[in-house]
Each structure stands twice: as C-alpha cells, then as structure tokens.
Structure 1
Amino acid sequence: MALKESGSAALSATHSVLVRVAAVLALIAIWQLLVLARLWPPAVLPGPGQVWDQLLAASDSGNGQGGYAGSTVLERLGVSLRRVGYGTAYGVLVGVGLGLVMGLVPVVRAVVEPFVTFLRALPPLAYLSLLVIWFGIDEEPKVYLLLVAAFPPVAVATATAVTGVNRQYLEAAHALGANRLGVITTVVLPASAPEILTGIRLAVGIAYSSVVAAETVNGADGIGGMVLNAQRYNQTAVVLLGLVVIGVTGLLIDTALLALQRAVSPWRGRA
C-alpha cells in the first residue's frame, strides 16, 4: 500500500513538472509568433533568440565588458539573491515572532494588526526614500526594504494559524504537564507550520519582486540594477533577460518551498 502511494506521488510530481514545462514552451511559442507577426518593432519586442544571445553575452566575463557593465549575470544574480536572502530571513524571524504573540495574546493582536495591515498595503517604493534618509545608500536600506516587505504576510499567516490550532491539543498538552513554552514548541508551532510556510512563500515572492525597487539605490551590481541600466539605454532584450532570470529563479525558489511544505504536512490535500 505504501509502495503504491509512493509511486502515485512520484507520478503526480512528474506530471506536474511536465505540465509546467509544456506551459513554458507554449509561452515561448506565443512570444515567437508575436515577434514573427511584427506587431511591434524589434526594439520594443525582441524575440527569444535575441534574449538568448544577450544571456550568452552577459554570461561571458571575457567579452570586454566583464559580462554586462562589469558583472556577469550569475554574479549579479548572486548579489540580488543575497539581498533577498537576508531581507527575507530577517522578515521571517520578525514575522513568526510577532505572529506568535499576536495569535497567543488577543490584546496584542488588536493593537498591532492595524499597523501590520498598513505596512502590507504600502508598495516598497513608498518607503524606500525614507529608508535611504535613515540608513544611507549602502546595503542597509535594501535589506531593510525587503525585510519590511517580507514580514507582514508571515506575521498575518502565523497569527491566523496560531488562533486556528485545535484547543483540544492545547488542553491535552497542559494535562500531560507541558508548560507554556513546551506547548508552543511541541504543539502550536508544528500545527501552524503549513500556514507559516505559506506565509513564507508569499514573503519570498514579495521580497523578490521588490528587489528591482531595492536596487534603484546604489544597486547597479544586482540583477535589478542590470534591468534599470538597460532601461535607460532602451536595451529591451537585456530588460527581458533580467525579468526572465528573476522569474525563473523565483519559480525555482517557490518550488523548493512548496516541496518543503509538502514534506512538513504530507496530510494536506488528502483529507
């Protein structure tokens, strides 16, 4: 029985991958058809081949430009992923901690939730200027921008998950002699983990989509900086290349988080 379920799960995962690959290929085909139809000039809508050529050129450190404007695509991606990683990690720590308090203490939730909702409603560019005034133009405002963008969805997801934990589990843990900290670590957090991971997936997506905004300030070495620099010189193929790189790596990160979520809560979707 277990072997049958394992085989079914593997088949389902393979089918999901094939569907995603087919969807990507269909999108590229539609893109190429639009280029061949010449609805827009190549300067406005370059073809997939032009973007591929730009990828090869920007990945070659020996092309006389060090890739693109002194850095290869891989180097730029590494810089942006580092910023997203730091910002998201700090955001998750703040969001989970604050969400736990909000979920366990109703008074705190009533006081803090409007502030968290207020931050969720703000686009990153709205407070970027303020962060630059406070922290300068080095790495700090970029990381803080991604932190502020990332922690609200985690806090909301954590608070909602904590308040939804079955009270019978909490009572059973108390009856078995667990203290408050023990109940939180052995009951509340494991039961809330799937929803917390959903919040983390949202946070990573928001932080990654905000990296271009974060790199408008002294961030020319990142992938967002490449997009902004190419936009200034109307290099549409390079802009599309940056967007594709951001989108593909974001998809890979989300797929990894989804696999982690399924590993943590394999029962979800089977009830």
Structure 2
Amino acid sequence: MTGLLVLALYVAAFFGSFLLAKKIFASAFEKKGFNRLKTVTFGDESAITANRVASIVSVITVFWLWVAFTNSVIPLPKFPGPYSGDMTFTYTAQLEDGSTDDATVTMRVYREDIQQTVDAEGNPGREPSAAEVEPGDGFAKNDTLTVARYGFKVVNVWGNDEVSKKEGSKIVALNGEPIAPGEKVSVPEGTIGLTDKGTPTFAPATGLRMARLYLPAPELVFARFIELNVEGYQGYKLWEHTGYSLFRVLVGFLLGALVGVPIGYAMGLTGWARGWFDPIVEFMRPIPPLALIPLIIIWFGIGENGKIVLLFLASLWIMIIAARSGVSGVAIAKVHAAYSLGASKSQILTKVIVPNSLPDIFTGARVAMGVCWGTVVAAELVAANVGLGKMIVTASKFQLTDIIIVGIVVIGLIGFAIEVGMRKLESWLIPWRGKV
C-alpha cells in the first residue's frame, strides 16, 4: 500500500510540475511537430536535451517524499505520523461463575529514540516510566505499561488481578465490545485485540511514516555520513571504503574494455572470429556475475584478484557486444566511398570503421560501468574487509539502515559523476556523432 502511494504521489508531482512549469516557462514548451525534431538524424542524442527545471523539480520531489515518509525535523509537509502519548482501553474479565468486572489499561506510547535518563540506582534506563494509576476495586485491577512507537505489546492483565487466567478468568470484551480470541478492534490510537490464547495486545497506530529502522530521516543519514568520515566503520573511514571500491571497479572495467573491444572488432570484421567467439559470448552474456562467485573463489582465492576478475567478467561481454554492434552498424556506403578514393584497408579501419563505431562503444562503456557498480557489492562479498559493498553488507547484519543508505547514496553519486564525465569525454572525443 505504501509503495502504491509513493508511486501515485510521484506521478502526480510529475504531471503537476509539468503543467506549472509549462505556464511559467512557456517558451521551453513550444509546440513542435515531430518532423522539426533533430531525431530525424539517426543517432543524434542532441536532438532532445534535458529540461533542467524538470531535473531540479524531480530531485526536490524525491527528497520531499523521503522527508514526508519519515519522522524528520525538516520543515516540509509530512504524512500522518505514529501515535505518541497516553491512551487507555478497558477490558472485561469474566469468571467461571459468570461474574464480570471491568478494568482499565493505560498504555504510554513513547518515541523509540527517547530513553529515560537514569533509574533509581543511577543506571541508564531503557524506556520511560509508566503512568501512575490506582488499582481500583473488584477482582480485575487497572494496569499501566509502556510501548515504543511502531512497537507491539502483549498485555498480561492478570499479573495484578485477584483471579488469574489459570483460575478461570478470561477476557470477553474490550472497550465494551464483545471479542473472541484472535480478533482485533481498531481505536484512534492503534489496534487492540486478543491473541489466540485470549491475552490482550496493543499496537500503536503508525500512520504513514516509516520507522527509523526501515527508513531514517535525511538529517540522520547526513549525521551518519559525517560520523563515517570522522570515525569510520569497521576500521576504515568512508573515503577509504569508497577508494577501494572505485579502484576495483575501474580496474575491472578497464581490463574488460581492453580485452572486449578488440574481440568485438574482430567479430564485426571477420566471419571466422564471429563464428569462434559468438557461442561463447552468447552463452556467458546472460549469466549473472553473482552465479560466478563460487568459481571465482575456487580459481582465484579470496584476495583482490577474485574481485577484479568478477568485475572484469561483468564488463567484458558488454564491451564485446558494443564493439561488435558498432562495427556492424557502419554504413557500407562510407566504406565504398573510402575505397573509391584509394584508401587502404588500414586507413579504412582507422579513418572509417573506428570513428563510426566509437559512439556504440561509448554507450557500451556507460552501461558496463553501471553494471560494474552494481556488481561491486557482490564482488566485495568475496571475503573483503573494506569497500562500500562490504560496509553495506556488514551494516545490514546489524540493521544499521542509515549506513546502508549512505553507501547507496555514495555509489549512486559516484556512478552519476562517472556517467556525466563519460558524456563529456564522448562529446570531446566524438564531436561528429550524429553529424556524419
């Protein structure tokens, strides 16, 4: 349900911001027929340029959704949060002779990150003290307990009653409504009910915000980011984890490109190489790198070599296919024109085939870099003691969600920076793309 709500809000924000920006920046949304677009020139990525207003609004929307679904202190609109405070409900206990008595249970719902300063002996407490209530008259006595937000509490109401459950006392109603074991009743503060054995339970209302365990607020993630850079995690600071992962990705990718591009050229230029390598490439291409980890450990051990080989294999097949596609896509008319001008085979290779295949190779390189970043987590599972993937996996074992998000954000930002850098490099090295 929460996922569908997030999707609906994101779609609404997309169309709402589009209509608003269209009114404010009317010139940027001038109506054009498809015949006026530069996409009529095949392969020209400059035909459609990104609307930077849309990019900014998109980032702000994602950040707002992050804030709205957490208990953040950032002053942005938020969705209803979890219940905190004191609430009461009554239960009706019935004895074997049919006599009944009502008692009240007072539940103090506290923030999960707030703890009592000290107890009576001066030791840190684990939770705030319960509310003070009078036990009342009758065989059923009033109770008072505490429960954390997003928590759940089984309420043993017979602990102070004059007649215990074993002696025949049972709960027959909650808040005056008859109830059977296994049933639940919704109240504004949460949900009360009975277990299958007839013991009352209480779960505070959570609203639409997520607990810190599942999604910490942005300011908590930023505080953890600072802490990781100052104090580190698992013996290494964040920049050291990042450096090791980046080194592995770059080395694995470069090796894959150095081996894959020549093989791709060979497959695109000679039938023998195409027939020789095609079965191997098409067989290995669908195999996910994760499936190769056991063999990597057996063949290369648990050192750096194994991780780099795994990343090498993750990029190799992509680069082979990109180079092969680039060569196969060269217009034969350009080759004939070069021959008619007296060009040799080596000149055709260097002056016609290579320049016209570079756009496909750069596209494959961008895809391969993304796959390598996605594989680095798996690569660092191979007995690594440092790296972003190792940091994320270790943090997940201790449910340190803020560290996990820091690692994910760092990987995403570095991947984005590499993508932007490769686009700039492509525009510098291949200025003729889409123009020849």
Q: TM-score interval w.r.t. the shorter chain?
A: 0.7 to 0.9
Matches within 5 A, 1:88-107: 88-107=253-272
- Whether contact under 8 Å (1:119, 1:148) holds in the other structure is no
> Per-residue CA shift, 1:113-161, capped at 9, x if unaligned?
2321222211111001101100101011111100100011111111111
Deviation at 1:77, TM superposition (A): 0.7
Match of 2:225 in 1: 55
> Per-residue CA shift, 1:33-91, capped at 9, x if unaligned?
1114454321111111111111000011xx3xxx1121111111111000001000000
- The structure whose residues are more often strand, as a share, is 2
* Shift in CA distance, 17/90, structure 1 to aligned 2, threshold 3 Å: farther
The yes-or-no answer on 1:161 pairing with 2:326 is yes
What is the identity, as a one-letter code, of the residue corresponding to 2:67?
Q
Deviation at 1:17, TM superposition (A): 5.0
Partners of 1:116 and 1:97 in 2: how far apart?
A: 14
Deviation at 1:193, TM superposition (A): 0.7
- The counterpart of 2:408, out of the listed 230, 243, 247, is 243
- Whether contact under 8 Å (1:194, 1:264) holds in the other structure is no
Partners of 2:224 and 2:353 in 1: how far apart?
A: 50
- The counterpart of 1:43, out of the listed 196, 213, 218, is 213
Secondary structure in 1 matching 2:235: coil
* Shift in CA distance, 239/91, structure 1 to aligned 2, threshold 3 Å: same
Partners of 1:18 and 1:32 in 2: how far apart?
A: 21
> Per-residue CA shift, 1:75-111, capped at 9, x if unaligned?
1111100000100000011111110000001332234
Matches within 5 A, 1:65-214: 67-214=232-379
Instruction: Report the TM-score when normalising by structure 2.
Output: 0.55
Instruction: Report the TM-score when normalising by structure 1.
Output: 0.87
Partners of 2:238 and 2:346 in 1: how far apart?
A: 46
Q: Greater CA deviation, 69-78 or 173-182?
A: 173-182
* Shift in CA distance, 244/91, structure 1 to aligned 2, threshold 3 Å: same
The yes-or-no answer on 1:254 pairing with 2:409 is no
Which of the pair has the greater relative contact order for Cα pairs under 8 Å at 6+ separation? 1
Deviation at 1:22, TM superposition (A): 3.3
Partners of 1:74 and 1:22 in 2: how far apart?
A: 30
- Whether contact under 8 Å (1:165, 1:188) holds in the other structure is yes
Secondary structure in 2 matching 1:121: coil
- The counterpart of 1:228, out of the listed 393, 399, 402, is 393
Question: Any gaps of 5 or more consecutive residues in structure 1?
Answer: 1-11
- The counterpart of 2:65, out of the listed 14, 18, 30, is 30
Deviation at 1:258, TM superposition (A): 1.6
Partners of 2:379 and 2:324 in 1: how far apart?
A: 28
What is the identity, as a one-letter code, of the residue corresponding to 2:390?
G
How many residue pairs get aligned? The number is 254
> Per-residue CA shift, 1:168-204, capped at 9, x if unaligned?
3223334444433332222211111111100100111
- Whether contact under 8 Å (2:68, 2:209) holds in the other structure is no
The yes-or-no answer on 1:216 pairing with 2:386 is no
- Whether contact under 8 Å (2:66, 2:218) holds in the other structure is yes
Q: Greater CA deviation, 238-247 or 28-37?
A: 28-37
> Per-residue CA shift, 1:202-247, capped at 9, x if unaligned?
1111011100000001222111111011011110110111011101
* Shift in CA distance, 99/204, structure 1 to aligned 2, threshold 3 Å: same
> Per-residue CA shift, 1:1-44, capped at 9, x if unaligned?
xxxxxxxxxxx98x655543432222111111111445432111
- Whether contact under 8 Å (2:322, 2:361) holds in the other structure is yes
Partners of 1:236 and 1:150 in 2: how far apart?
A: 30
Deviation at 1:266, TM superposition (A): 3.6
Partners of 1:43 and 1:21 in 2: how far apart?
A: 29
Q: Greater CA deviation, 119-128 or 142-151?
A: 119-128
- Whether contact under 8 Å (2:228, 2:237) holds in the other structure is yes
What is the identity, as a one-letter code, of the residue corresponding to 2:258?
L
Partners of 1:21 and 1:74 in 2: how far apart?
A: 27
Secondary structure in 2 matching 1:210: helix
Deviation at 1:265, TM superposition (A): 3.5
What is the identity, as a one-letter code, of the residue corresponding to 1:57?
E
Partners of 2:344 and 2:384 in 1: how far apart?
A: 48
